[in-house]
Chains A and B, each alone.
Chain A
Amino acid sequence: MKVSLSWLKDYIPIKMDAEDLAEALTMAGLEVEAVSDRYNYLDTVVVGRVVEVNPHPNANKLKLCSVDIGGQTIPVVCGAPNTKKDMLAPCALPGTCFPNGIILEQSNIRGEVSKGMLCSPVELGLGISGSGIMELKQNLAVGDKLHHALGLSDTVFEIDLTPNRPDCLSIIGTAREIAAFQKTKVSYPEINVSEPLAEPLAESPDTAGDISNFSSVTIIDPDLCPRYSARLVFDIKIEPSPFWLQDRLVSVGLKPINNIVDITNFVMMETGQPLHAFDFDRLAENRIVVRAAEEGEQFTTLDQKERILSTGMLLICDGEKPVALAGVMGGMNSEIEDSTTRILLESAYFDPICIRKTSKKTGLATDASHRFERGTDLGGTVKALNRAVQLISEICGGKIIHGIIDEYPKPAPERIITLSVDASNRRLGTSLSQDEIEQYLKSIEFAVEKIDDDKLRVVPPSFRVDINRFEDLTEEIARLYGYNNIETTFPLIPAEARPPSKKIELRNRIKQLMTCLGFTEAINYSFINKLSCDRLELKADDPKRLMMDVLNPISEDQATMRISLIPGLLETMQYNISVQNRNLKLFEIGNVFFHTGQKDSLPDEVEILSGLWTGARVDAYWGSKEISCDFYDLKGAVEELLRNLGIINTTFTAIEPDACCYTKPGYSARIIVDDSLIGLLGEIHPLVLRNYDLKQKAYVFELDFDKLIGIVPDIKLAKPIPKFPATSRDITLIVDKDIEAMNILKMVEILNENLVENLHLFDVYEGSPIPAGKKSISLRITYRSAFETLEDEMINSLHKDITGRLIKEFDAILPA
């Protein structure tokens, strides 16, 4: 909301300068976002003296002037009839931005250069006359900036009000706050409505008598409209407003329209109470009926748009039809027109929720709806109405009809709050006296009475709709005392520690390990494109396809909650490759969201750890070329991660080709710990690569973080260091190509020879001289005893035995 300093000064003396006032308002809770002078646009308008006036050679109505702008004389083409030699007038220079939005440029008018413009009051926003240029007093200094020469300065504050303070959505509301921290008083405008007598007068039968003779208000739905006040003014003439009124509206960013509309806007800005003026003669049966809208009812608002209404909205109707969408916008059919002579002025209180719903549903947000939906002053309708009527009679010269209609079917319950000074001090950490608190509350117009030494009986004013309980009062006290004056203290925290969350600790540990393994952490958005399932080549019946869609997404790419981290990682890969980062080792830990199948219910949020490796295993350097990464690089990283977490019984088993659609058949593995599936590892399927427009191979893994938590051991136990030396023996076996190496290692483990300490697979070879369909596998077995140094003969015999059993088990042969 915009508030101008000069308008504020109508109600309160202000001594501090604009910057200090802005700071004080901010510290009182009315955050000032910007401070500016509204006449800044006159920076490039100077006082000019017309030194020569000649006829324009190519245009009868134009004149060619030379204007002294202080130190230099410029040619100006001018069409105003009152231009004459030696007059002083405002001269705008190129670059000036006029109130109507036009920016002045140096121009060529019918063949003559014009380097400036002599301006009329209306062009400069300084008056309403547009018939000739503005003649300035001769004592002004030529070349001086116009706003300086005329002493034009008015600071405008842009205030960002929090939704709890509708009472400050007005100049007086802001003045009240200033009064509190300045410790001065607000001088409210005096309202004197000169009413004609209610007696019938022979000379003016049309306007004599009480309002009840002319009109009535019926509230059918008092819950939505607890109060409706109205007055009538007849014999008015619709005209532009006087300049002072237009200027006030312009100063706070409103556009002048005509005297009646301007007055309603002026009073709204002054008091915070929105008003609406109806053309009385366009109201059927000259009366008002307030009722809820019917579903599907149609109505054309002032902005000429046809609205389809629904139940819960509120309509102001005349005897036959709707004439306004209550609290939001008036109707075309009852709008004030140039021919209007009789008006009905509305000042009402509407239910905030009703107005908010209406505004949301229709997409219509107006100055009125903004105030009604936050809560206007239920006790202030009549005062605002009288203020407007007073201005109308002053400005438009109308005749005010005697009496007021004030339908008030639902008076507000009185709010009485008991405040304990001690409880307030404890909540705030202050030691304010009862008197101090009483003074603070009175300074913002709260009614306060002492109950006893500790308690106060407080009644907030009707405009403070945000004050309902004791705690609300403590905020008022704190803010008036000054948040920064409250002493900084420290809570007493006992020396006890709750066990840290295993989940958070493990997550941090994993993140640390992943970085040690060379992976950089990525964080992708939790939403993905709906097409992601197709891009991952998921089958049509894959349960993951049931996703949590966002009803109001920002874009197609963020339209549904992710069911995997892989799409995000692939998009990150795509982005990085597009900016020439080809070699990537990335990981991410985050939630994925599975639909439970039930409507309107929370998803299963599962935390997943995923990694992606693409490009180089080893970057090129001066001693070696780049080596590309492969399946086993990523597998090694996963193994090392799990080993570091203390998980030892991990196995990787081949996935049957159609069990995972986004990894390449034959190049994918399940990650299993103690018979439980905890994740997947594999090369991205070429079709998926194509779907993401990727050309280089990528390897990914996914681990279920929630399952990891369950299997990471809590305890670490040290093993003794062996006392006796180890001896190792190698075996090379030639076996069928399809035999998985891990099975051979497992077999050795199954033999359960307790002298076998370690197995190391050090070579796998296919090709000549190994026969086709076969491969050679070389193992090194390390033997050690915990009790003695082993004799060669004993090891040889054991090794021969193991070799023999492996040959038999795998139908192997020894190399020639």
Chain B
Amino acid sequence: MDKTIEQIKEDALKELEAASGPESIKALSVCYLGRKGLVTQFLRSISSLPQEKRADAGKKANEVKKLLDTAFKKALKQLEAESAVSDDRIDVSLPGRVVKRGSLHPITQITQEICDIFSRLGFDIAEGPEVETDYYNFEALNIPKNHPARDMQDTFYISKNIVLRTHTSPTQPRIMEKRKPPLRVIAPGKVYRCDSDLTHTPMFQQVEGFLVDKKSSFGDLKGILTTFIHKIFDDQTRLRFRPSFFPFTEPSAEIDIGCVMCRGKGCRVCSQTGWLEIIGAGMVHPALFENVGYDTKLYTGFAFGMGIERIAMLKYGIDDIRKFYENDLRFLKQF
């Protein structure tokens, strides 16, 4: 026995430190741990030691064997990993391989945004048919035949009593007929009017909203719509309520917001007025409640409606409504 196991360990670690490549480490491993290696030989030689020293020496030698084995393997892995690094370079400026996502139509996005805001305010979302009877589109909304109010909306007719709905308001009587108050509902959908220019398409989309309860007031209507406008635009948006006329509300109001383009200074979009008409609203006309059998003494309600394209145009700075329905991919991909 020439060297102690401690010496063997020290030597091995020293040599490992000096080793220059994977080959020399492998050779060291054979030299120490191989069948004829120094540690192996030492282990074999233990049997020749006196009985009382054998256990201690064996334990130490095995520890060294394990330690060296781990050290060699670790050093080898380190070298292998280092050797995978080279001077090769890729051109990081080359474009990545894209997995293209599609996009939602801007009108869908704004509709969802509007619905989200009203959902948070406790409104349900409902829908109604796009082809309507004259009754629901007009009569039930207090717009009798041959009333000048019918001029306010150029109607597409399918037959004498069937029309393409000119607004989402028919959802009001339809839902009121099926449900009892309290009601808080918004109803988005497509509507149709015989009109086509920069600011009109024959099909467009609206959101109708209404609330019917025992104590709703015009003040509440102002509250709900102010909150909505501050959410859909921003908290700084100015708004004003002014008298207007809809046959299905009394009092009726038109809600203007300070022009988002010029911040109220006056520009082409707001026709130099600084204001933009954005929502029609009012207290539900008692004739609607009478038509659906609600007690007009007990219930009041308010209703409102807005054009989705108009809001989208203002939010995205689009000046031609027809862009929404051309479906030009270069337009749609921007949203």
Contacts and interface: CB of A to CB of B under 8 A. Distances in A.
Interface of A: 26-29, 31, 33-34, 162-165, 352-353, 356-357, 373-374, 426-430, 469, 471-472, 474-475, 478-479, 483-484, 486-494, 497-498, 500-501, 503-504, 508, 511-512, 514-527, 548-554, 558, 561, 572, 575-576, 579, 581, 584-587, 590-591, 593, 599-603, 605, 619, 621-623
A29 B162 contact: no
Given A478-B243, A489-B223, A550-B158, A520 B95 contact: no
Chief secondary structure at chain B's binding surface: mixed
Contacts of B107: 523
Given A475-B251, A478-B243, 10 more contacts: A356-B148, A426-B217, A484-B240, A486-B241, A491-B223, A500-B124, A515-B103, A523-B107, A524-B325, A621-B97
A164 B112 CA distance: 35
Contacts of A353: 146
A515 B161 CA distance: 39
Nearest to B145: A353
A27 B243 contact: yes
B148 A163 contact: yes
B332 A522 contact: yes
Contacts of A504: 115, 125, 127
Contact of B220 (A429, A520, A521): A429
A709 B194 CA distance: 33
Interface in B74-133: 94-95, 97-105, 107-108, 112, 115, 119, 121-122, 124-127, 129-133
Nearest to A572: B327
Q: Can you list the 6 inter-chain pairs with the closest CB atoms, starting with the nearest?
A: A429-B219, A29-B243, A429-B217, A162-B245, A475-B251, A489-B219
Contact of B250 (A471, A572, A586): A471
Contact of A428 (B162, B219, B242): B219
Nearest to B241: A483
A381 B157 CA distance: 38
Interface in B193-245: 194, 196, 201-203, 211, 213, 215-220, 222-224, 226-227, 240-245
A487 B102 contact: no
B160 interface: yes
B9 interface: no
B190 interface: yes
B129 A162 contact: no
Nearest to B123: A493
Contacts of A591: 130, 190
A163 B152 contact: yes
Given A517-B102, A518-B102, A600-B161, A527 B203 contact: yes
B151 A520 contact: no
A487 B129 CA distance: 36
Interface of B: 94-95, 97-105, 107-108, 112, 115, 119, 121-122, 124-127, 129-133, 146-149, 151-152, 156-162, 164, 182, 184, 190, 192, 194, 196, 201-203, 211, 213, 215-220, 222-224, 226-227, 240-245, 250-254, 271, 283, 285-286, 300, 324-330, 332-333
A443 B257 CA distance: 30
Contacts of A512: 104
Contact of A621 (B95, B131, B149, B157): B95
Contacts of B112: 508
Given A550-B157, A599-B159, A575 B219 contact: no
Contacts of A471: 250-251, 283, 285-286
B8 to A, nearest CB: 42
7 contacts: A27-B240, A428-B251, A471-B286, A475-B243, A483-B242, A552-B194, A579-B330
A350 to B, nearest CB: 13
Nearest to B246: A162
Contacts of A427: 217-218, 283, 300
Given A475-B251, A483-B242, A605 B129 contact: yes
Nearest to B255: A483
B162 A601 contact: yes
B122 A484 contact: no
Contacts of B97: 621, 623
A579 B251 CA distance: 49
Contacts of B325: 523-525
A576 B328 CA distance: 6
A165 B224 contact: no
A491 B222 CA distance: 10
A520 B243 contact: no
B76 to A, nearest CB: 29
B243 A28 contact: yes
Most buried by B among A487, A508, A554, A619: A554
A503 B98 CA distance: 33
B130 A526 contact: yes
A479 B102 CA distance: 49
B324 A472 contact: no
Given A491-B211, A521-B104, A552 B159 contact: no
Contact of A511 (B108, B162, B190, B250): B108
A554 B202 contact: yes
Contacts of A373: 148
A28 B245 CA distance: 12
Nearest to B227: A490
Given A373-B148, A491-B220, A501-B125, A521 B103 contact: yes
Contacts of A430: 219
Contacts of A553: 156
A515 B156 CA distance: 33
B241 A484 contact: yes
Contacts of B241: 483-484, 486
A27 B242 contact: yes
Contacts of A488: 219, 222-223, 226
A622 B157 contact: no
A558 B129 contact: no
Contact of A521 (B245, B250, B332): B332
Given A524-B325, A525-B202, A553-B156, A581 B131 contact: no
Contact of A554 (B115, B196, B253): B196
Given A29-B242, A483-B243, A551 B159 contact: yes
